[in-house]
């Protein structure tokens, strides 16, 4: 028997309509490439989006066409977030930090027809166009993020016959009405930041995007609401900036877009000036910001929440922000394939009676699956493991905003089995309350004499040292033990007195003796390589930093390392 409720599909247009109708005067603020600020409103973003829809249509963009962007977090990128899917086309956000060959690969794989590119990033495409490497792109549109009149900078090489974004929008009329289509229609395409093999395309739908935005607005999700002033530091080219542009529009929150100003001073200034209340990004961003906040004072009294995901948030990070600034760091987990919100760590009501330490342990977990997402963990024979907080297994997830296939990639999709669940490649334990705690990526676990050591746990233990900025733990093949852990440490300051002994003593508080690295396998390094989305690049660390002759300095016991 059919239910008798309205069949209004879950379309991205409905998100924008709500922002325009109810919150038309609420602000959308963008920081331009030259540091200047552009202020507009959700109403104006809506009007310009509808002009852009007309412009896209008049250029022949058809339903299902892929329209790519190569841009930082800006108002114009936001307009594309709505205009492209609202005419039934697919917004393909390209990660600007990918290596050139991967950019070429994904443009060709996606068969993008148009590319909107920030002027400061456009010269790459002039070259690729010249070389005939991206033949599917018929038109380039330049997004100029400098304040007019633009300073007389050397003119970057632009692709031939490139159009100007504003020149495109200005004469266009506001699009009449809103095309209606099936809610399962593709709306966005994002490729995984593959550290091995080719990137894989995840094709979001209107339905998955709207449901994910609703999940973001749940109190036990990201708790986005109208009163928030939100600044996504997570780039708009990475998993739709964790869905924040959509969830902020849905509830009419003031949205602050930082351009390319993702670190230290520009970020701190924007957080202060716009009285931001919640922000989100990977741990490295917050570690660097914390360092900057030690050097210069800002009024961040409005900032209540930092949502951290993409890599594990350390105890130090959570404690430092709480103690020094009263800011709550909320730990969350997700992937490109999960839109990305999968789990968020919030205290359950049972925690009332828990000690501070027990509460902190729960907050350090990646969290409870958000409403809409189900989880399970499997052993190597695909048997379900108990939720006892101790049995690690591969994490599987399912839900309406989890990918069911990769775009045009049956081989990668085959790895999804068993049917109906997505294999994350992450290894986790789940406790009896349902808190998921990641112990590693499957490929990053260290296997010593057949027993597993969690690299993530060891990194977290190492960064608890006050003189340590960051740490990475990777496996080194070993003839006797199969693999042994190698711990690479970056000091906060070159002169900081941190020794291998200090690190070992810290690790010994949490790890059994057989799990500890050898003293000569604690290496002090100047910096650690990061992936295109700011996570530790363990593949590069393994291949270049732990081999004989690599640039690391072994931290000999009892010798303060220079
Ligand atoms: P991406 O698709 O680039 O967003 O990467 C997803 C991967 O990042 C996940 O499979 C995890 O390995 C890792 N990740 C995401 N969130 C966390 C977290 N809170 N803690 C540890 N690892 C995380």
Question: Is 295 annotated as catalytic?
Answer: no
> Can you give the pLDDT at residue 558?
32
Superfamily of domain 445-545: ANL, C-terminal domain (3.30.300.30)
Minimum-distance ligand 1 atom for the alpha carbon of 531: 3
Q: Which of 79, 228, 337, 394 is an active site residue?
A: 337
211 cis-preceded (ω within 30 degrees of 0): no
Q: Are 518 and 503 in contact (CB under 8 A)?
A: no
Widest Cα–Cα separation across the chain? 76
What's the angle, vertex CA 186, arms to CA 41 and CA 68, rounded to 5?
A: 65
Write out residues with Cβ below 6 Å of ligand 1.
Answer: 192-193, 239, 309-312, 331-336, 340, 366, 424, 426, 438, 441, 533
First and final CA of the chain: distance in angstroms?
A: 74
Nearest CA to ligand 1 atom 20: 312
pLDDT at residue number 493: 87
Question: CB atoms < 10 A from the CB of 92, how many?
Answer: 29
Eight-state DSSP code of residue 121: G
Q: Is 447 a catalytic residue?
A: yes
Determine the pLDDT at residue 193.
Answer: 72
pLDDT tens track, the chain, 562 positions:
999 999 999 999 999 999 999 999 999 999 998 899 999 999 999 999 999 999 999 999 999 999 999 999 999 999 999 999 999 999 999 999 888 999 999 999 999 999 999 999 999 999 999 999 999 999 999 998 776 666 666 667 889 889 999 999 999 999 999 999 999 999 999 998 765 568 999 999 999 999 999 999 999 999 999 999 999 999 999 999 999 999 999 999 999 999 988 888 999 999 999 999 999 999 989 999 999 999 999 999 999 999 999 988 999 999 999 999 999 999 999 999 999 999 999 999 999 999 999 999 999 999 999 999 999 999 989 999 999 999 999 999 999 999 999 999 998 888 776 679 999 999 999 999 999 999 988 888 898 877 788 898 899 899 999 999 999 999 998 888 888 999 999 998 888 889 999 999 999 998 888 889 999 999 999 999 988 777 888 888 998 888 754 555 555 333 322 2
- The domain segmentation of the chain, as residue ranges, is 445-545
CA dihedral 363, 368, 369, 371 (to 10 degrees): -110
Three state DSSP letters for 326-386: CCEEEEEEECHHHCCEEEECCCCHHHHHCCHHHHHHHHHCCEEECCCCEEEEECCCCCECC
Residue 192 appears among annotated catalytic residues: yes
């Amino acid at each position: 028997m059919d239910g008798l409720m309205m069949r209004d599909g879950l379309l991205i247009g409905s998100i924008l309509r709500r922002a325009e109708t109810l919150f038309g005067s609420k602000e959308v603020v963008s920081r331009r490439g030259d540091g200047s600020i552009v202020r507009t409103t959700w109403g104006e973003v809506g009007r310009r989006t509808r002009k852009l829809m007309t412009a896209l249509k008049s250029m022949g963009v058809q339903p299902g066409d892929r329209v790519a962007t190569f841009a930082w977090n800006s108002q114009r990128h936001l307009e594309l977030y709505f205009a492209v899917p609202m005419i039934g086309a697919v917004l393909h956000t390209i990660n600007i930090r990918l290596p050139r060959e991967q950019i070429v690969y994904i443009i060709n794989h996606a068969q993008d027809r148009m590319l909107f590119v920030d002027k400061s990033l456009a010269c790459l495409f002039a070259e690729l166009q010249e070389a005939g490497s991206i033949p599917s792109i018929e038109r380039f549109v330049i997004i100029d993020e400098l304040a007019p009149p633009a300073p007389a900078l050397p003119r970057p090489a632009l692709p031939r016959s490139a159009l100007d974004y504003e020149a495109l929008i200005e004469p266009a009329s506001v699009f009449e009405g809103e095309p209606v289509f099936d809610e399962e229609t593709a709306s966005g395409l994002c490729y995984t930041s593959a550290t091995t093999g080719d990137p894989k395309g995840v094709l979001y739908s209107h339905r998955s995007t709207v449901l994910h935005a609703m999940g973001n607005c749940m109190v036990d999700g990201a708790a986005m609401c109208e009163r928030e002033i939100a600044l996504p530091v997570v780039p708009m080219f990475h998993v739709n900036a964790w869905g924040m542009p959509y969830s902020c529009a849905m509830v009419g929150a003031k949205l602050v877009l930082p351009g390319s100003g993702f670190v230290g001073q520009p970020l701190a200034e924007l957080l202060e000036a716009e009285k931001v209340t919640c922000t989100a990004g990977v741990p490295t961003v917050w570690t660097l910001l914390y360092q900057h906040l030690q050097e210069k004072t800002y009024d961040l009294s409005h900032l209540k929440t930092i949502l951290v995901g993409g890599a594990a948030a350390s105890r130090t990070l959570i404690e430092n922000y709480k103690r020094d600034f009263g800011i709550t760091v909320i730990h969350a987990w997700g992937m490109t394939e999960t839109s990305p919100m999968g789990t968020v760590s919030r205290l359950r009501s049972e925690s009332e009676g828990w000690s501070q330490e027990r509460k902190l342990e729960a907050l350090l977990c990646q969290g409870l699956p958000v409403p809409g997402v189900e989880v399970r963990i499997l052993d190597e024979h695909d048997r379900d493991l108990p939720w006892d907080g101790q049995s690690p297994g591969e994490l599987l997830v399912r839900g309406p905003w989890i990918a069911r296939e990769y775009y045009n990639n049956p081989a990668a999709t085959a790895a999804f089995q068993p049917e109906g669940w997505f294999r994350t490649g992450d290894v986790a334990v789940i406790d009896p309350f349902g808190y998921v705690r990641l112990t590693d990526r499957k490929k990053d676990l260290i296997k010593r004499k057949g027993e597993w050591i969690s690299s993530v746990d060891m990194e977290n233990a190492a960064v608890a040292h006050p003189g340590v900025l960051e740490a990475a733990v990777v496996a080194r093949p070993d003839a006797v033990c199969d693999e042994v852990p190698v711990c690479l440490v970056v000091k906060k300051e070159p002169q900081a007195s941190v020794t291998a002994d200090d690190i070992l003593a810290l690790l010994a508080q949490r790890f059994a003796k057989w799990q500890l690295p050898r003293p000569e396998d604690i290496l002090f390094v100047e910096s650690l390589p990061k992936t295109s989305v700011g996570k530790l690049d363990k593949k590069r660390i393994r291949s270049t930093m732990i081999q004989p002759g690599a640039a690391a300095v072994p931290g000999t016991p009892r010798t303060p390392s220079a």
